[in-house]
Amino acid sequence: MKYLYRVLLIWILPVLTLYGQKWHFDYVDTARSEQSAMTIDHAGKIHVTYYKTEGWPWMTNYAVQSADGWNVQQVAASNGNQSIAVDSENKPHIVFIGMDYHLYYATYQDDQWQTTLIDSNDIFSDNCIQLDALDRVHITYVGGTGNHYLKYALFDGSIWKIEIVDTAGMLGDANVLVLDSQNRPHILYGDGKHNTIKYCYWDGSVWQFTQFEMNQYHHGWLNLDQNDQPVLCVTNHGHDLVLLHFDGSQWNEEVVDPAPPTAETGKWSCFCFDQSGNPVLSFGWTDNWWNYFLYYGYNDGSGWKIEPVDTMEALTSNNVKTPKIVVDGQNDLHIIYATKNGAIKHATTATGTGLAERTQNGPVDFRLFQNYPNPFNAQTTIKYSLGQRATVRLALFNNRGQKLKELIHQTQPAGEHSFNLQAMDLSSGVYFYRMIISGRNGQYVQTRKMLLIK
């Protein structure tokens, strides 16, 4: 009955209303494209990368949101499978598979895209990129010659360090990377040998693995909760869309949507946490005529609610088809997805006015200054200014990107502020201090380096 209701919604809802929901739509690119990925910067702007397959050569493209629409640029000729992240200065970083099936990394410098070869072995599937608190680049991907290996690459600002994480022989169908508060990588990926998924993380010394049972779970997405515990959005053996929560000792399954008729639905799922720490999902749901339509799920405290987002245009049938979802600083949702007609589309709950304010103004008049004195011996002062009342988080990191302590976490009024750092318990060396300022227009993030000499 629930399945019939969902199918009727797909066909009737567009006739009744467009859609009577809070969603607004625009197109990033109407040329034939697929395989989109997205992120949101600290000023609330959306950054998108996607695979444009209209014309030759096929291209990895980049688009950034502005008050006037989307600014689109060509990055490089490619074979797709790209992902994107932004650094503390809101600059984009993209990883993609080149025309030679090797892995490349691209940054925008001196008004043009600069590409770097990371791995010259053949790359077989998805990749994922994240930047840590020190703007170091972390990438995970599946590649190798002859065998499919899960690989992890770290760029520390001077050299790439690449290691093989798992040699079990994966399809790499759900290759997702996230970093915890200590900048340690957590990875979810497909295990083709056992027809299930695997989860692993770096504990500071070795990789720790969770091997799920054969055929137990498929596809999915990974995120970390406020306590750095992993949460997976996957499809179980009964085709239910579920969240798997790890409580520190065991995995607990929470059914989000028991309606999907095929396991393919989980392949389309993505989720993030809103400003209150509640999970919000986006996924494609099929009408069994191989038309997938965009839905989202949320829990309002009384249980999970599943509602349609876009029933006017079906999603692409390409193998890499997950609609990506993020939440901005005003708790508005943004979803980027490829339509069946090949366009890259943006759905959001943000109004046009809110979008203009967020992209034009941003969190202006926030500044983090260099500590003084620097170098220092026993103590140093960190000064910063707030252009408006905001929540301030100031944290200290070592040169390996590990968070040592949180110095400030409180709401403060506009004006000049300072923090006196006592270094009695620290040894000589390089340290970093990072400030995250959350105001009404979004977030401001900046990291600076200091030198302690005793």
The CATH number covering residue 333 comes to 2.120.10.70
Q: How far apart are CA 288 and CA 4, in angstroms?
A: 11
Residues 188 and 284 in one domain: yes
Environment class of 354 (CB within 10 Å of its CB; exposed 0-12, middle 13-18, buried 19+): middle
Residues 331 and 390 in one domain: no
Residues 385 and 346 in one domain: no
Which of 318, 339, 359 terminates a domain? The answer is 359
Report pTM. Answer: 0.82
Residues 215 and 164 in one domain: yes
Residue 250: what pLDDT? Answer: 93
Residues facing residue 223 across a β-bridge:
231
Residues 290 and 380 in one domain: no
Q: What is the mean pLDDT of residues 260-275?
A: 67
Residues 409 and 348 in one domain: no
Q: What is the CB neighbour count within 10 angstroms for residue 343?
A: 18
Share of the chain above pLDDT 70, in %: 84
Residue among 180, 185, 215, 179 at smallest CA distance from 197: 215
Residues 333 and 385 in one domain: no
> Per-residue pLDDT tens for 422-436?
999 999 999 999 888
Residues 414 and 265 in one domain: no
Residue 264: what pLDDT? Answer: 53
CATH number assigned to the domain comprising residue 418 = 2.60.40.2550
Residue 439 in this model has a pLDDT that exceeds 50: yes
Residue 227 in this model has a pLDDT that exceeds 80: yes
> Per-residue pLDDT tens for 228-240?
999 999 888 777 8
Residues 335 and 306 in one domain: yes
Residue 5 in this model has a pLDDT that exceeds 60: no
Residues 337 and 354 in one domain: yes
Residue 283: what pLDDT? Answer: 82
- Domain count within the chain: 2
Residues 163 and 266 in one domain: yes
Residues 222 and 315 in one domain: yes
Which of 304, 334, 359 terminates a domain? The answer is 359
Residue 178: what pLDDT? Answer: 95
Q: How far apart are CA 239 and CA 235, in angstroms?
A: 5
Range of the domain at 47: 2-359
Which of 359, 386, 413 terminates a domain? The answer is 359
